[in-house]
Amino acid sequence: MNNVNANYELLLQKAEEYRNSLGYGEKIRIRVGSATCEHAAGSQIVYEEFQKHILSSGRQDIILEKTGCTGRCSCEPIVGVFIPNKLPVKYQLVKRETVHKIFMDHIVGGKVVPENLLDKTPDSCKYHILMCDGTGCGGALDSGLRFQFEMKIAELGLKPEEVWLTHIGCLGFCTIMDKKEQTVQVMVRPDNIIYKIKTIKDIEDIIDSHFKKGKVVQRLVAKEKPISQRFYNLYGDVAFFNKQTRIALRNAGVVNPESIYDYLHYKGFLALKEVLQKNDPEWVVKQITESKLRGRGGGGFPTGQKWASARKTQEKIRYIICNADEGDPGAFMDRSMLESDPFSIVEGMIIGGFAIGAQKGYFYIRAEYPLAVERISHAIEECRKHNLLGQNILGSDFSFDLEIRLGAGAFVCGEETALIHSIEGERGQPRVRPPYPTESGLWGKPTVINNVETFANVPPIIVYGPDWFAQVGTRNSGGTKVFALAGKIQRTGLVEVPMGTTLRDIVYGIGGGPAGGRKAKAIQTGGPAGGCIPEKYFDTPVDFDTLGKLGSIMGSGGMIVLDEDDCMVDVAKFYMEFCQDESCGKCTPCREGTKRILETLTRITEGKGTEEDLAKLERLAKLVKKSSLCGLGKAAPNPILSTLNYFRDEYEAHVRDKKCPAHKCRSLIHYVIDPEKCVGCTMCAKNCPVPCITGERKEVHVIDTARCIKCGRCFEVCRFKAVKKL
Amino acid sequence: MCTHNNIQNTDNWKEVEGFAKKALPEHIVAFIEECRQDANPESKLIKVLQLVQEHFGYLGRTQMDAVAQLLQVPMAKVSGVATFYHFFRLVPRGKYLIRVCLGTACYVKGAERVVDKFKEELGIRFGETTKDGLFSLEGTRCLGCCGLAPVVEINEEIFGQVTPDKIPAILEHFTEKESEIKTQ
Ligand SMILES: Cc1cc2nc3c(=O)[nH]c(=O)nc-3n(C[C@H](O)[C@H](O)[C@H](O)COP(=O)(O)O)c2cc1C
Ligand code: SF4
Ligand code: SF4
Ligand code: SF4
Ligand code: FES
């Protein structure tokens, strides 16, 4: 018998003592987002400004702290104000000037500042009810009950200021409770209580006792604690968040990423404790296998199977590596997880290390992510101090340590064999597989490489069980996937949804669709290795297999929404430029093929392409795909092949009519002034850098198309929409 | 042929070592010595080069030579690694390094026009440095702030939602900082 349990209890005790000594639970808390993106938006200044205000007010009852990034990028900096027994309030786009107002009005005066509320959330209600609309729980069968709740609230004359009801995606109950119970789940904020209701009487009791008298109806309180409860308690009122299911990102924006005690408080290292207590690596591998967790780095290889095959080798020295190279030029979920919840990635790696019998693990992080490196180093240090890394972890027989290695800006180093070369100090070039790294990897020893998000999912699988995780996803793929939603969309940011969610739900339901009521034309998934999926397939449920069938891939989870202004040929060219630049040059099809493909695409966008070029392009792309050595070359043609397949008309317009339908390709557009609309304000002529616009004041202006360099200035400055792009 | 172990026994090793140590700052020499105690010292080559670049702003021939000697890896390997990774720079750069994100999200949000504006304002192309040695211009891959596209990084500072018309003010911020330093 080991004393892992006792040691873990001691740690927990320490964490609680620490939190109590600071006055958690009684004091007001102000949490300022702190991550690369938050800093870019100016959150550090906001933090300092709050610091000054607290200092000069002399108040002792306020805790100012940092939290990670919740992934709601375009609203940053985000600040949360948590006053005990009040609804958590989140502010968006907080500037130095806003700080003063928030401090004076809200913290001192108790009045919320409405202008800056995150996504215009209901602010002043006393109770906020989140009603689970998930179809998983048995209660969903009886949808009548849901209406009853709303009707009763109206009937009893409760005003929106008192009780506010929001329907949300899924609280995550369906998978941890007995379906036979057939109840509907509702969460009540700010009390962070979940009720299971079955009858109208239940509803009446809640309204009477809880909402009117402030007394919780104990007989209806759920005993289970779903994983997303904390997240929903904080963010359940925000449309962008309450359709998401947060597992990998469960702590992003919830915990303080620089505090091991905060992490411990939120069930941190509970999974590690259970694993070490059981002391059975086979059991861990079995849990992971049964959870149907598939690698989130792009390949989608079953993680349990990978771990099992490393265990099978005779060699006793083994390594585990976390791939945090995140090279996809449109993905940032790994960065966010490393920065917002570093301890859970570390925990996932320690568990992985235990399962495969490794003594040492490496973090391979891009040098472009300095804050991620800082947070992970800090997390590793803290773990060493608390005996969660090093000799005899938590008093068990297991000893394990972690080290960070930095990437140096080469996309191909994300490929596992190249990554291994890079850690060994070599040029990061891939090699032929097999042998796979699980047989012969780092310094020839069996090595398991997993993505950041893959590791982030490991602790919850252990704590909540593999069945729960498997049920969240689709038949072949358990759990959720985090996507980095960007491009022509209203709400950009990180989206975590169950496998099998449709593209439409992601783009429109969560992302709010393109701005200004424009139409999305396509979505690019999987980065340079992926493809473009046209709007007509937006109802496809997303998982590894379905995206593959559409000629794209899941990849690491980049999702770029494209609209009518984006030229698909240009997008394909953009990715080809990337791949050509990043090709390591080891094998000919990729080294030469990407160059030739890029030349052809450039010709087409310049209006010099022929129809024959299209056929050539397709042949060459297929050849490169078939014969390249590593994943980079094998996937590089995907953007071309998918756009050729779905948007051939755009290619044809470029070569046949010498027109770019999206008016994007510079060589194929020209600017003219509409004499009907021009009022002769001279703005365009003043701004033209050539200058090639003539015309007297108050008279129609004319562009000399022969001399125009197509910079587009005139188009931007004309306030009368008289300049036309043709 | 000399192997890694007996190079230190050659006649002029002390002299070579002395030169090499002079070419690098103390903390890097100390770091290399620490690495040599490890099981796989050559695996720290990239880290060492990163430290050198952090200190000098680029990797000069002398410094690379010194690294090769002290870490005892062939010069061919050092330059092979230095040229393979985008992160390493072989020529000096300006005091402020402007890196315009050319990742996908930034690209679709108009990074190209941001680049054009920087080129126009500074009168330099990618990879070049202004005559006063103040600014260098580079493209870079996704900086991980796609939600704020287009993004520009200047030294360690990140600017989000950069449109061409914001660029003069951004540059001014740095030139002003410079003249403040000068007047002090
Ligand atoms: C060109 C190329 C780039 C890759 N980049 C990454 C990356 O940035 N991050 C990552 O986790 N996996 C990347 N991969 C996938 C890795 O090779 C590997 O499959 C993955 O890290 C395994 O982890 P997983 O099973 O947890 O997904 C890349 C693959 C290729 C071919
Ligand atoms: S496919 Fe490209 S990146 Fe991969 S080994 Fe060949 S040349 Fe290098
Ligand atoms: S800016 Fe527009 S309205 Fe004014 S002169 Fe030019 S085209 Fe005419
Ligand atoms: S596009 Fe540029 S060069 Fe051409 S007319 Fe307009 S402002 Fe002048
Ligand atoms: S694409 Fe520019 S920050 Fe990601």
Tens digit of each residue's pLDDT (9 = 90 or more) over A53-103: 999 998 999 999 999 888 888 888 999 998 888 888 899 999 998 999 999
Residue A176 has which token pair? Answer: 């941890």
Residues 305-364 on A with a CB inside 8 Å of B are 326-332, 335-336
- Give chain B's largest Cα–Cα span: 63
Mean pLDDT computed over every residue of chain A:
89
| Length in residues, chain B | 184
DSSP string of A36-63, one letter each residue: HHHHHHTHHHHHHHHHHHHHHHT-SSEE
Does the Cβ of A630 fall within 6 Å of ligand 2? yes
Residues B26 and B71 in one domain: yes
Residues 238-297 on A with a CB inside 8 Å of B are none
Range of the domain at B119: 96-183
Instruction: Count up the domains in chain B and report the number.
Output: 2
B126 at A interface, C-beta within 8 A: no
Is B89 among the domain residues?
Answer: no
Q: Considering chain A, what percentage of its residues have pLDDT values greater than 70? A: 95
Residue A403 has which token pair? Answer: 């080290």
Model confidence pLDDT, tens digit, residues A607-628: 999 999 999 999 999 999 999 9
Does the Cβ of A708 fall within 6 Å of ligand 4? yes
**Fold assignment, A568-657:** de novo design (two linked rop proteins) (1.20.1440)
Residues B67 and B124 in one domain: no
Question: Hey, whose CA ends up nearest to atom 8 of ligand 3?
Answer: A678
A427 with B81: Cβ contact below 8 A = yes
Residues B115 and B63 in one domain: no
Average pLDDT over residues A487-494: 88
Residues B76 and B43 in one domain: yes
According to CATH, where is 3.10.20.600 located in chain A? 473-563
**Fold assignment, A670-725:** Alpha-Beta Plaits (3.30.70)
Nearest by CB to B108, from A328, A408, A566: name it.
A566
Provide the ipTM: 0.84
**Fold assignment, A260-462:** Rossmann fold (3.40.50)
| Model confidence band, residue A167 (pLDDT cutoffs 50, 70, 90) | confident
Residues 6+ apart with CB under 8 A from B134: B94, B95, B96, B174, B175, B178
Is B22 among the domain residues?
Answer: yes
DSSP string of A450-489, one letter each residue: EEHHHHHHHHHHHHH-HHHHHHHS-SS--SEEEEEEEES-
The residue in chain A having the minimum alpha-carbon distance to the alpha carbon of residue B83 is A427
Helix, coil or strand: residue A565: coil
Helices assigned H by DSSP within A121-228: 144-155, 200-205, 213
Residues 6+ apart with CB under 8 A from A291: A304, A461, A466, A469, A470, A478, A479
According to CATH, where is 1.20.1440.230 located in chain A? 568-657
Find the angle CA(A162)-CA(A164)-CA(A166) to the nearest 5 degrees: 170
Helix, coil or strand: residue B153: strand
Is B7 among the domain residues?
Answer: no
Record the pTM.
Answer: 0.90
Nearest by CB to B84, from A39, A410, A487: name it.
A410
Mean pLDDT computed over every residue of chain B:
87
Average pLDDT over residues A479-490: 90
Q: How far apart are CA A230 and CA A232, in angstroms?
A: 5
Question: What percent of chain B is helix, strand and coil (3-state, nearest 5)?
Answer: 55, 10, 35
Check pLDDT > 90 for residue A148.
no
β-strand A558-563 against A531-534: which pairing, if any?
unpaired
Residue B142 CA: nearest ligand 5 atom is 4
How many helices (H) and strands (E) chain A has is answered by 28, 21
Residues 700-719 on A with a CB inside 8 Å of B are 711-712
Helices assigned H by DSSP within chain B: 13-23, 26-37, 45-56, 61-71, 75-84, 104-108, 111-122, 167-183
Is B2 among the domain residues?
Answer: no
Model confidence pLDDT, tens digit, residues A309-325: 999 999 999 999 999 99
Average pLDDT over residues A255-283: 94
Pocket test for ligand 3, best of A672, A674, A678 (most atoms within 8 A of CB): A678
Check pLDDT > 60 for residue A21.
yes
Model confidence pLDDT, tens digit, residues A568-603: 999 999 999 999 999 999 999 999 999 999 999 999
A73 with B141: Cβ contact below 8 A = no
CATH code 3.40.30.10 for A27-83+88-116: yes
Ligand nearest to the CA of A625: 2
Residues B71 and B23 in one domain: yes
B151 with A330: Cβ contact below 8 A = no
B96 at A interface, C-beta within 8 A: no
Residues 6+ apart with CB under 8 A from A235: A70, A90, A241, A242, A253
Please provide the CATH number assigned to the domain covering A127-235.
Answer: 3.40.30.10
CATH code 3.40.50.150 for A473-563: no
Contacts of A331 in chain B (CB under 8 A): 142, 146
Model confidence pLDDT, tens digit, residues B90-129: 888 888 999 999 888 888 888 888 998 899 899 998 888 8
Which residue reads 């000799």 in tokens? A391
* pLDDT, position A256: 92
Residues B141 and B76 in one domain: no
Question: Hey, whose CA ends up nearest to atom 7 of ligand 4?
Answer: A688
The residue in chain B having the minimum alpha-carbon distance to the alpha carbon of residue A570 is B108
Residues B31 and B58 in one domain: yes
Buried residues in A550-587 as b, exposed as e (16+ CB within 10 A): bbbbbbbbbbbbbbeebbbbbbbbbbbbbbbebbbebb
A566 at B interface, C-beta within 8 A: yes
**Residues in chain B with pLDDT < 50?**
1-3
Residues B43 and B115 in one domain: no
Q: Which of B50, B84, B118 is the last residue of a domain?
A: B84
Q: Which of A558, A268, A232, A306 is nearest to A454 (CA)?
A: A306
CA-based nearest distance A107→chain B, Å: 29
How many helices (H) and strands (E) chain B has is answered by 8, 4
According to CATH, where is 3.40.30.10 located in chain A? 27-83+88-116, 127-235
